[in-house]
Structure 1
Amino acid sequence: MSSTSWQAFTVETDQHVAEVTLTGPGKGNAMGPDFWRELPEIFGSLDADPEVRAVVLAGTGRNFSYGLDLPAMSPLFGPLLAERALVAPRTDFLNEIRRMQAAITSVAECRKPVVAAVQGWCIGGGLDLISAVDIRYASADATFSLREAKLAIVADMGSLHRLPPIIGDGRLRELAFTGKDIDAARAEKIGLVNEVFPDAAATLAAARGTAAEIAALPPLTVHGVKDVLGRERAGVVADGLRYVAAWNAAFLPSEDITEAITATFEKRPPEFKGR
């Protein structure tokens, strides 16, 4: 077995299966600068490694991921939210969105099938991440939320584009418009997860088992299956990501997003005014 440690992940490989585990350093495996920098490096390396034939994606602790680490990533929003932000901060923000989108896309484009094991909270960016994998398992305590609308943000990391063929357009709209939480049973019913298991240990064991089944098959054939399955949606997703990145660079600055971020830090309900 080989093992490599990162700042926001651990990566271990055994019997042709790589296990990528979110470790933080933010609370609840929140996604800060280390996450966005390391994720494409890890999946690019796994994609190129002939010894890896399948990947398990998991999170440490009680939760898979709280999503974007707002305190750690707040410098990203500061220049954009300044009064009358001009073209330079908007261009910088656009480039940063595209860089973060590419990190999630590295998971989707990895030729090795990726199986996610989700426990506890899977919020916002966490849902973006698992929408890019091939197979999703969840523990009975898992809770999912496409939370961005509650922060006055149009989700821009891929959920809006990757989830329609997974859960259907109407169900996606319900989650995206309301930002509501859904439990594991509901997630299984709408097809967001393939199967629900009693606890985190059983979920991870199932993910490892499926990854081992995949790893036992002819690897180039598996690559071909994933390539064929992804052909139609790849163009749609890429076009959608470009559009939402430009949309947010143009329209994300608002009094409402400032209020949402302030209310989050002050732990109070926000008061949105549509300005």
Structure 2
Amino acid sequence: MTDIDDISRDLVSLRVDRDEHVAEVTLLGPSKGNAMGPDFWRELPVVFGALDADPEVRAVVLTGSGSHFSYGLDLPAMLPGWSEYLGGDALAAPRTAFLAEVRRMQRAVGAVAASRAPVIAAISGWCIGGGVDVISAADIRVASAEAKFSVREVKVAIVADLGSLQRLSGIVGEGHLRELALTGKDITAERAERIGLVNDVYPDQESTLRAARELAAEIAANPPLVVQGVKDVLSVNTEQRVEAGLRYVSAWNAAFLPSKDLGEAVQAFMERRPPRFTGE
């Protein structure tokens, strides 16, 4: 068993606090907008594994530091390590290694979904790409009025592969998911509430976090084994479907992600200009 207090001292991208039976996990970055770099993907499953092993933890609040939940994947931090996977002449070995990398990141997000204790995501500011993958793995989501959401991977020539395409259909419905994933558009907290992505919208970040904490405390006051049983029963069908979808998309991206369009997306991102995609 890993004690969360033992690992907290070494965390870079996350902070863990506890108040009685409620744990609070805060995204720290360290990149701008709590962007998700190598430290995040390494630490997320460790933190949730430690919380899951602690019988005193009965609910978890997940939130972001500063003004935003997360800008999503930290491309400048992650891409150098992926260069051998994504080259135009990448053969079977590097593509197999990339498949393993995608599945490692999928398991990190999956640690949130698999948490024995229900997870409440409190979202303020931007929640983009990988941020949406993570909140999709939470049990309940609440947001502040200025929050914005985007399943933006299509804008950078990537098929989202960390869980949003698999989990959101059961949260917002197939039609809304297809619109979000195929356009990469931004949506407001108001629309997020209307389509069911978030349960409630609060005036500001402070009231959103307070509501999430109160909801977590309400859950934590119930019989813990029964709460765990409710979550298990609700998840038994969806997680089997999610797992099959994750395996499919990881194999699809390992085969097809390297492209001229991906290179153009990265170059345009670095040069802060609109990309020009050619379908190559």
TM-score (norm 1): 0.98
- State the alpha-carbon separation in 1 of the partners of residues 227 and 274 from structure 2: 48
Deviations 1:20-43 (A, max 9, x none): 000001110000000000000000
Match of 2:238 among 218, 227, 233: 233
Tell me the equivalent position of 1:112.
Answer: 117
Cα deviation 1:117-143 (Å, max 9, x = unaligned): 000000000000000000000000000
What is the CA RMSD across the aligned residues, in angstroms?
0.9
Question: Who is 2:156 aligned against?
Answer: 151
3-state DSSP class of the match of 1:247? Answer: helix
1:174 — aligned with what?
Answer: 179
Give the partner amino acid of 2:173. G
Which of 220, 229, 253 aligns to 1:224? It is 229
Q: Distance in 2 between matches of 1:76 and 1:57?
A: 27
2: CA distance, partners of 1:165 / 1:100 = 21
Stretches (4+) displaced over 2 A: 2-5
Q: How does 1:84-163 map to 2 (within 5 A)?
A: 84-163=89-168
Output the CA distance in 2 between the equivalents of 1:190 and 1:14. Answer: 32
- Following the alignment from structure 2 to structure 1, what is the Cα–Cα distance between the partners of residues 92 and 81? 15
8 Å CA contact 2:59, 2:217 repeated in 1: yes
Residue 81 (structure 1) shift: 2.4
Q: Which residue of 2 aligns with 1:204?
A: 209
Q: Match for residue 27 of structure 1?
A: 32
In 2, are the aligned partners of 1:81 and 1:258 still within 8 Å (CA)? Answer: no
CA distance in 2, matches of 1:29, 1:207: 19
The code of the aligned residue for 1:128 comes to: D
- TM-score normalized by the length of structure 2: 0.96
1:165 aligns with 2:170: yes
Moved more, 206-215 or 74-83: 74-83
Once residues 225 and 78 of structure 1 are traced to their aligned partners in structure 2, the CA distance between those partners, rounded to angstroms, is: 43
Tell me, in whole angstroms, the C-alpha distance in 2 between the residues paired with 1:83 and 1:38.
31
Q: Shift of the alpha carbon at 1:88?
A: 1.1
Q: Displacement of 1:75 after TM fit? A: 2.1
Give 2:195's aligned residue: 190
Distance 1:83 1:53 in 2: 48
Q: Deviations over 1:201-222 (max 9, x none)?
A: 0000000000000111110000
Q: Which residue of 1 aligns with 2:58?
A: 53
How much does 1:240 deviate? Answer: 0.3
2:71 alignment counterpart:
66
- The Cα shift of 1:77 comes to 2.9
Q: Is the 8 A contact 2:141 2:197 kept in 1?
A: yes
Unaligned runs of 5+ in 2: none
Query: What SS class does the counterpart of residue 272 from structure 1 fall into?
Result: coil
Q: Indicate the SS of the match to 2:23.
A: strand
Partner of 2:49: 44
Q: Is the 8 A contact 1:122 1:142 kept in 2?
A: yes
Give secondary structure in 1 for the equivalent of 2:30: coil
CA contact (8 A) 1:76 1:93 kept: no
Post-superposition offset of 1:82: 1.7
2:99 and 2:251 in contact (8 A); partners too: yes
Match of 2:252 among 247, 250, 263: 247
Secondary structure, aligned partner of 1:129: helix
Q: CA deviation at 1:265?
A: 0.8
- 1:13 Cα deviation from its structure 2 partner: 1.0
Shift of 1:76: 3.6
Q: Is the 8 A contact 2:88 2:259 kept in 1?
A: no
